[in-house]
Amino acid sequence: MAKLNQIIAVEKGVKSKSFAELTEAHQAVQKPALLSGLSRTYQPKDEEGEQLPPESTRVQVQAEEVLRGIGTTLTRLFDVTATKDWANRVATANVVVDGRTIVEDAPVTYLLFLEKQLTDLHTFVKKLPVLDAAESWTQDQSTDSWRTEPVRTIRTKKVPRNHVKAEATEKHPAQVEVYYEDVAVGYWTTVKFSGALPARRVNELLDRVTKLQNAVKFAREEANGTEVTDRRVGEAVFGYLFG
């Protein structure tokens, strides 16, 4: 008795072959010349007339024969697909991570859905924002975010000063140069906040997603190992269609 994974492996090839043969058949019956035949003979009016050989063209494509061929090809496809789909109704497996059952009796179709979703989630988690490692962060319960310790910095202001380059005399005024001096006028106390995540948290999430991905793949392989019963529906379908 075949297993579901064997039927799945065969189905792709059967689909390709059926599509190719259906396309070929469609093209053949669209060419009137291939469906047409001819037979004619020549008889002169009298015995002295010119004798001409008979002419004939053989019919190269028989529509009924094409239908029989398509019926045979598609019957195989219909049977393989039916066998797979009927088996998918009963093929299930548990998704287990570290001994813990996350999803019980998941059908193959749902396991395929999970695989796709977890691939997208892995991409999402991998790009989550991470706290700047150059800072020291602690959780702030009041804002539900992360914060740094307060850092005090001086606020300065430029104050003009006069530099006397030459004292005043009876004949010349003093030569004074103006320059600016940074003078402390106050203090800033800064606390940084962030809604990003610690690197260890992101790595933990990535590890969980990866473990679940592997568990789903294992479950799918297990479900695909279910033995299947061959389904014969194609003959009935094409017996009705082309009969």
C-alpha span between 237 and 130 (Å, rounded): 59
> What pLDDT score was predicted for residue 79?
95
Q: Hey, what are 2's tokens?
A: 């075949």
Tens digits of per-residue pLDDT, 87-139? 988 999 999 999 999 999 999 999 999 999 999 999 999 999 999 999 999 99
5 in helix, strand or coil?
helix
Tens digits of per-residue pLDDT, 14-42? 999 999 999 999 998 899 888 899 999 98
Q: Which of 146-160, 163-177, 223-237 has the lowest mean pLDDT?
A: 163-177
- Comparing CA positions, the residue from 22, 19, 14, 167 lying closest to residue 80 is 14
| Phi/psi of residue 71, nearest 5 degrees | -60, -45
Q: Hey, what are 79's tokens?
A: 């049977």
Higher pLDDT, 83 or 175: 83
Q: Please say if the pLDDT value at position 170 is more than 80.
A: no
Q: How many CB atoms lie within 10 A of CB 77?
A: 19
> What pLDDT score was predicted for residue 174?
77
